[in-house]
Structure 1
Amino acid sequence: MTAIDLSDFDVPGRGRGLLDVIQWRYLLKLIVRKGTATRYRNSVLGWTWSYVKPGVQFLVYFLVVGIVLGLNRGVENFPVYLFSGIVAVNLFNEAFGNATTSIVENSSLVRKIYLPRELFPIAAIIVALIHFVPQLAVLLLACLLVGWVPSLLGLAAILLGVLLVVSFALGVGMFFAGINVRYRDAQNFVEIIRMVSVWASPVLYTWTLVKDVAPSWFVHVYMSNPITLAVEMFHFGFWDPTASQTHGYPDQFLLHTLVAIGLCILSLVLGQLTFRRFERTFAQDL
């Protein structure tokens, strides 16, 4: 019997996970282009909605929390404080939601051809980043109007905040994207997380209010949340330079940052493992 050398052949339908994205980057560009092109298709306002929706959200929160509840009087430049937090949480919510539904929304491709399935949640994250840019532009304009002067440390904090949000959204997004193909209840659970995320981070209030009413162990857990850290990084980079007196930061803020980074890495690992586990039956489940 003639021996056949199979060393040059790959096992069908198996890849290297997130590492395959680099090799398939051209296809990733096409998926991203499709996501941005179809976002506001047949819409009269088009990309203007990227400004309108966060603007309305900010106005509602500012009127209710800032004016009615009076936090506007206790936080200097409260509009900048509020909008910088909203921008960070909106990035997470859109990236997380898009990544969760990315496989189901591209079911026709998943069923017909093989390609690294991780391309879809990563493309969803990139699309969320693209729609994050208009909100960031409005925030920058508002900061400049109240005398914002950027610093290298502040810009580094903003970049770290974006990285925390993106990596955490990708990790938990892949986790729920894999589960959502078989169990559509996962999408409803994700909607609950997105709804709570605004209140679970110091967006509409300061972290010191949590410190005043919660035990110290809860404050440590609260501040180690990657989204909470990202919001505080945005506050440090955008709001702090415009305020004469800030609300300060916990004594163990560096430790909280390291824990948040570790949680982001853990979410990426668990998300990838879970995604690969359910990936085997994507075509059948869809």
Structure 2
Amino acid sequence: MSAPLPFRSPAYRELILGLIGRDVKTRYKQSVLGYAWAMLYPLATALIFSIVGQIIMRSNTGGLPYPVFAYFGVLYWNLFSSALTAATESLVSHLNLITKVYFPREVFPVAAVLSKVVDFGFGLVGLIPLLLLFHVRPGPWILLSIPIAGIIVLLAIGWGMLLACANLYFRDIRHLVGIVLSLWGFLVPNIYPLHQVPRQWQGVYLLNPIAALIEAGRRLAFPQTGWLRAIDPAQGNLGSLWPYVGTALATALVYLVVGFVVFKRNEPRFAEYI
């Protein structure tokens, strides 16, 4: 417990940056399209969601084109799901390093999550052609959607440290995480907008921190399109969402502390399971 957080030491920061760089390079190594996949994957997912949402579910997003609606949500969801998956597997994926030299092991889940932030950044670049294609002008508060993504990163790190420990002891955890994330993906406003959730259940729905953060990020980025006001005048501003964003932030901070404490307490036992 006396060990410092990895960001406090320049040496550990360099180690984290090195792990991030290696992970990103390995992920796109020997790929014809390379880093473009960070933009093409969410784009392809958004197009599939557009077909399902518009043709099958007949979702109404008002003045915001459905591909933009879906792409923005997919970016946030992919950041969370890929980061949590990578963090869960981070200790098992680096057993060779863990056995060779000592350094705070929390650098592995932290680096695993932050490497997905790189993909998120590329994905934001991929949003620009969509905005130009559909003539959508983002709102003046779009940059505030970045701190919203930061809360998602904190959640992924906190939960990721807990799951990384559990996965080292029970290798089935990573498979369970994949199943849970597959189901969880239907509980966030990507395929359908928030207004399609029955009004009496919207408060419960937004207690899902990822759902609240995706909705908040989208409203900050595109408040002037009028799609929220066109559907439900009561949802035309961000005010009603702030309590849920605050709850998500509080949840992230609590789990960040809990995850770190549990991780450090279990760290001496890691060698027994390698």
TM-score by length of structure 1 reads: 0.85
CA contact (8 A) 1:21 1:118 kept: no
1:194 to 159, 172, 181: 181
Residue 118 of structure 1: CA displacement? 1.1
Please say if residues 98 and 124 of structure 1, whose CA atoms lie closer than 8 Å, have aligned partners that are also in contact.
Answer: yes
1:5 aligns to what? none
Structure 1: runs of 5 or more not aligned: 1-12
**Kept after mapping to 1: 8 A contact 2:52/2:191:** no
Letter in 2 for 1:200: L
Residues 80 and 156 of structure 2 are in contact (CA less than 8 Å); yes or no, is this contact kept in structure 1?
yes
Q: Output one character per residue of 1:131-173: Cα deviation in whole Å (capped at 9) or x when no partner.
A: 112211111332244231431x3322x0231111101111111
Q: 2:156 aligns with which of 157, 164, 169?
A: 169
In 1, distance between residues paired with 2:192 and 2:36?
28
Counterpart residue type for residue 243 of structure 2: L
Taking structure 1 as reference, are residues 40 and 171 closer, same or farther at Cα in structure 2, changes over 3 Å only?
A: same
Q: Give the number of aligned pairs.
A: 268
- Identity, in percent, stands at 27
Q: Tell me which residue corresponds to 2:78.
A: 90
Deviation at 1:19, TM superposition (A): 5.2
Report the AA paired with residue 139 of structure 2: P
Of 124-133 and 69-78, deviating more is 69-78
> Residue 25 of structure 1 is aligned with which of 9, 13, 31?
13
Query: Within 2, Cα distance between the matches of 1:239 and 1:198?
Result: 22
Superposed counterparts of 1:100-179, under 5 Å: 100-145=88-133, 146-151=135-140, 153-156=141-144, 158-179=145-166
Task: Please say if 1:181 is aligned against 2:168.
Answer: yes
Q: CA deviation at 1:91?
A: 0.6
Q: Structure 2: which 5+ runs fail to align?
A: none
Equivalent pair of 2:39/2:123 in contact (CA under 8 Å)? yes
Deviation string 1:33-74 (CA, Å, 9 cap, x unpaired) is 211121122323322322332222112111112222211576
Q: Which has the larger radius of gyration?
A: 1
2:219 aligns with: 236
State whether structure 2 residue 270 is matched by structure 1 residue 282: yes
Structure 2 length-normalised TM: 0.88
Match for residue 206 of structure 2? Answer: 223
Distance 1:106 1:20 in 2: 22
SS in 2 for 1:280: helix
Which is further off, 273-282 or 263-272? 273-282
**Do the aligned residues in 1 keep the contact of 2:6 with 2:12 (CA within 8 Å)?**
no
Q: Per-residue CA shift, 1:72-92, capped at 9, x if unaligned?
A: 576642221111111110111
Deviation at 1:104, TM superposition (A): 0.7
Q: Contact conserved, 2:47 with 2:67, CA < 8 A, in 1?
A: no
Distance in 1, Cα, partners of 2:228 & 2:181: 31
Shift of 1:277: 2.7
Partner AA of 1:226 in structure 2:
P
8 Å CA contact 2:61–2:69 kept in 1: the answer is no
Q: Tell which deviates more after alignment, 129-138 or 204-213.
A: 204-213
Question: RMSD in angstroms over aligned alpha carbons?
Answer: 2.3
Alignment of 1:33-44 (within 5 A): 33-44=21-32
- Indicate which of 66, 84, 88 corresponds to 1:78: 66
Report SS of the residue matched to 1:71. coil
Instruction: Return the alpha-carbon distance in structure 2 between the equivalents of residues 51 and 86 of structure 1.
Output: 11
Q: Give the whole-Å Cα distance in 1 for the aligned partners of 2:266 and 2:108.
A: 15
User: Does the CA contact (< 8 Å) of 1:174 and 1:271 recur in 2?
Assistant: yes
**Whole-angstrom CA distance in 1 between matches of 2:168 and 2:61:** 47
Q: Distance in 1 between matches of 2:38 and 2:106?
A: 26
Closer/same/farther in 2, CA of residues 148 and 251 from structure 1, 3 Å limit: closer
**Normalized per residue, which structure has more helix?**
2
Q: Is the Cα contact below 8 Å between 1:160 and 1:230 reproduced in 2? A: no
2:196 is the alignment partner of 1:209: yes
